[in-house]
Amino acid sequence: MAIMAEPITKWTGARARRAGRHFDRAQRRRQDAALFDLLLRDLDGAATVLDAGAGTGYLTLALAPALTTGRVIALELSADMLRQLEQRAAAAGLQQRVVARQAPASASGLADGSVDLIISHSLLHELQDVDATLREFARVLRPGGRMVVVDFRDTWIGRLMMLWHPRGAHGPFSADGLARALEAAGLREVTVRIQGERLLALARR
Ligand SMILES: C[S@@+](CC[C@H](N)C(=O)[O-])C[C@H]1O[C@@H](n2cnc3c(N)ncnc32)[C@H](O)[C@@H]1O
């Protein structure tokens, strides 16, 4: 019988408070301008978007204003991170467009095929079981739905960063390794682009 590790996050307490400032810095948003363009370009105002490992709302709060009747489900393991996300959503008047959900990404509790777009920025390298999470993404995505993943590439910087992560975390990815994992989860039209220290993966259900 396979024994699954319990999902864990290091983003709690004082670390979560510091992360709130660090993750949402203006310089990072400038660096990710092309990513925001990509995400917003074809976004339907009625879409259901899943931001997996939403943190303090870096992507959630960028996409929510573009929705009219749709929602961003901000899925997060850490209650401390989610609390900051909810405060920031309220301060921006986006409560109607953002649904905060505390759950592991591998067991979201969302219905089959209920999501139009999944976004995940800097989550996968933290996970104990990436394959289980990608299978969960494939399950909740509707047929034809899109997935956009950004994560660390396997370079010395990516490996160094893992010194600050819990034991058992997956760590950074090779482009081929990430593509294979997405395809093994049943996703199609998989492309993985190298962008400096990061990988940008696109896929469809
Ligand atoms: C590096 S942060 C990135 C946050 C946000 N996506 C961003 O780019 O600013 C990773 C986030 O994933 C969350 N996380 C880690 N493991 C998780 C899991 N198994 N399920 C859901 N969230 C998880 C952490 O609590 C943390 O907030």
Domain ranges of the chain: 33-204
SS3 letters across 90-123 = HHCCCCCCEEEEECCCCCCCCCCCCEEEEEEECC
> Sign (positive/negative) of CA torsion 63, 200, 21, 126?
positive
- Ligand 1 geometric centre to CA of 174 (Å): 20
Choose one of 22, 77, 137 to mutate for the ligand 1 pocket test, by most ligand atoms within 8 angstroms of C-beta: 77
- Ligand 1 geometric centre to CA of 9 (Å): 7
- Ligand 1 atom closest to Cα of 51? 6
- Asked if residue 3 has pLDDT above 70, the reply is no
Question: What pLDDT is stored for residue 161 in this prediction?
Answer: 79
Domain spanning 33-204: which superfamily?
Answer: Vaccinia Virus protein VP39 (3.40.50.150)
| Residue 55 pLDDT class (50, 70, 90 cuts) | very high
| Residue 166 pLDDT class (50, 70, 90 cuts) | confident
Q: What is the pTM of this model?
A: 0.94
- Ligand 1 geometric centre to CA of 121 (Å): 8
Question: What pLDDT is stored for residue 159 in this prediction?
Answer: 79
User: What is the number of residues in the chain?
Assistant: 205
- Ligand 1 atom closest to Cα of 24? 9
- Ligand 1 atom closest to Cα of 54? 6
Average pLDDT, integer, range 99-109 = 97
